[in-house]
């Protein structure tokens, strides 16, 4: 499909649409339409028998995010996380920003299994996409990232 000067596959557009709906549902259920990092880090999850499936979805998302980041840099450190997930638009209190970046870096590098880091990444994907700072020329290469984010959101909203 052609959007402006971009060619985006129908499969990618479908994944983005599903992601958008899942994010809206997640935000309404868990964040009362205010998905700030502060609120996201307070979310508690008890999925009972579905917890293992949720953890597998988080792992799948981590692998997709890691692969995405490694195609752009040789190492995943706090600088690369800040560069690819946070833009000038997202800059807020530096101490809180650094906490989030450290949490995400540890998650991506498998030094932590905190699902809140996955949710913070997904929130950054959403914000970057909807506020126009996403790399639109590589959306087809990010389909797996959108799909794996949808899995995490699905298990939370099920």
| Three-state SS letters, the chain | CEECCEECCHHHHHHHHHHHHHHHHHHHHHCCCCCCHHHHCCCCCCCHHHHHHHHHHHHHHHHHHHHHHHCCCCCCCHHHHHHHHCCHHHCCCHHHHHHHHHHHHHHHCCCCCCHHHHHHHHHHHHHHHHCCCCCHHHHHHHHHHHHHHHHHHHHHHC
State pTM to two decimals. 0.84
| Residue 132: per-residue pLDDT | 63
| Residue 71: per-residue pLDDT | 83
| Residue 35: per-residue pLDDT | 86
Q: For a pLDDT cut of 90, what percent of the chain falls above it?
A: 37
| Mean pLDDT in residue range 25-53 | 87
């Amino acid at each position: 499909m052609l959007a402006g000067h971009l060619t985006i596959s129908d499969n990618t557009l479908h994944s983005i649409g599903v992601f958008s709906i899942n994010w809206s549902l997640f935000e309404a259920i868990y964040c009362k339409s205010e998905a700030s990092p502060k609120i996201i880090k307070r979310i508690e999850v008890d999925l009972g028998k579905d917890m293992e499936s949720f953890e597998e979805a988080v792992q799948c998302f981590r692998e997709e995010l890691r692969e995405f980041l490694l195609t752009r840099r040789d190492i995943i450190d706090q600088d690369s996380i800040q560069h690819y997930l946070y833009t000038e638009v997202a800059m807020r209190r530096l101490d809180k920003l650094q906490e989030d970046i450290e949490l995400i870096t540890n998650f991506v590098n498998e030094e932590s299994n905190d699902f809140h880091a996955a949710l913070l990444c997904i929130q950054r994907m959403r914000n970057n996409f909807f506020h126009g700072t996403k790399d639109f020329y590589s959306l087809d290469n990010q389909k797996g990232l959108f799909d794996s984010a949808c899995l995490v959101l699905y298990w939370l909203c099920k």
